[in-house]
Amino acid sequence: MGKLTAMAVKAALANPGTYQDGEGLFLKVDKRGGAYWMLRLQRDGKRQDIGLGSAKLLALSDARQKASGVRKAIKIDRRDVLAEKKDEAAAKVTFRVAACQYHKENEAGWKSSVYARQWLASLENYAFPKLGNLAAGAITAADIISVLTPIWQEIPETARQVRNRICAVLDYAHAKGWRSREAPSGNGSLKVGRGLPRQVKVRENRKAMPYVALPGFIVALRRKPSFGKLALELLILTGARSQEIRLATWAEFDIDSRLWVVPADHMKRRKAHIVPLSDAALSVLVKANALRLSGSDVVFPGTAGNPMSDMTLLKVLRDMSEPFHVHGFRSALTDWAANEGFPDAVVEAALAHKTPDAVQAAYRRTTYLGTPGQPGTRVKLMEAWGRYCSSGSACNGNVLPILSKITG
């Protein structure tokens, strides 16, 4: 028979302490005002204290009934009630929640803010659609393989990164108690040749559109402008990489000087890069400004004004039934420039390539930009390239008067 009464419980709620009811059931009242029903039992020779709920929500009679059920589950049914409670709590932690928490806790220690954005974006693009709403503790090797299979051969490096990041999240979930085991590893079910096929190791250059086809392609690209199409056009006209375009903000553009100053953390080599802007490139900025989202400084925004994903530009090409790769436009610029007689060193500087010769790299300090009164060879290169790419369209005219108001 219990020792507590309803009146005794009511009085106990105002006085911190431990109040025994019998058969292992007791009321715990802490100094902060919290009051909890607890059941103390022996299981396999070890003491277990099991929480039954708040005493402010659970009446004495209900607590006794619940305690009776737990005693039966442990002593007669031989169930591990504590493990079941942990599993129940873990089931509420989805892969998306675990990934976002892992990202939040670790991003400060990563090499750059760009890497931190790319890390989460890769899971948003490839993992979350299939795994996002699944409990982190329930994800199997088969689930991970279903995510990787569509991209394993198409974009192998990205696929390997996604695999490693999924496994990092699952190991994190295991450490947090949301998962009973560590992630499937690259030495087990996710090893190439087992659950995943061997990737084609022959390295092929990314397929580039022939530069002779570019004027016609630009004409088609300019139909029904969108942020994705405008971003791809500026990428072509400037010879920039996808990341530099996607992360570009209006603050990077000096319209009066006709220059785009790409910050170091947006560049592959972590060195700031200056891009001369042709009339054609400035025309793209005019169109992007007309579509500009309020509250976002990103020139070509994606969802909610944030930078667009790394697949957006490729999707533009695929939607236009073009089999070429985004990075291939840099090759098209290189081929065209060679045919036009521009020096290799100037083209390499325009593409922000590292000078392969260490001696030349040490002594070559010029940027080939020249001065406002006497434009350098890079300025002439980009202007000529812009005119060539736009040769299939009507002239854009003088865009500087319109652009002078963009970044002010």
The pLDDT of residue 169: 92
Model-level pTM? Answer: 0.53
Q: In the chain, which residues have pLDDT < 50? A: 1, 357-365, 395-397, 400-402, 408
Instruction: Spell out the CATH class of 6-83.
Output: alpha beta
Instruction: Please tell us whether the domain made up of 95-175 is placed in CATH 1.10.150.130.
Output: yes
The pLDDT of residue 2: 60
Start-to-end Cα distance in the chain: 81
Q: How far is CA 168 from CA 171, 172, 190, 252, 309, in A?
A: 5, 6, 13, 35, 22
The pLDDT of residue 110: 82
Query: Quick one: fold of 211-403?
Result: hpI Integrase; Chain A (1.10.443)
DSSP state letters, 202-249: ---PPP---GGGHHHHHHHHTSS--HHHHHHHHHHHHT--HHHHHT-B
**Which stretch of DSSP H or E encloses residue 14?**
none
| Residues 90, 94, 99, 102, CA torsion sign | negative
- Range(s) of the chain covered by CATH 1.10.443.10: 211-403
Q: Are 402 and 286 in contact (CB under 8 A)?
A: yes
- 30-39, Cβ contacts within 8 angstroms, sequence gap of 24 or more: 37/63, 37/66, 37/67, 39/67, 39/70, 39/71
- Range(s) of the chain covered by CATH 3.30.160.390: 6-83
The pLDDT of residue 206: 65
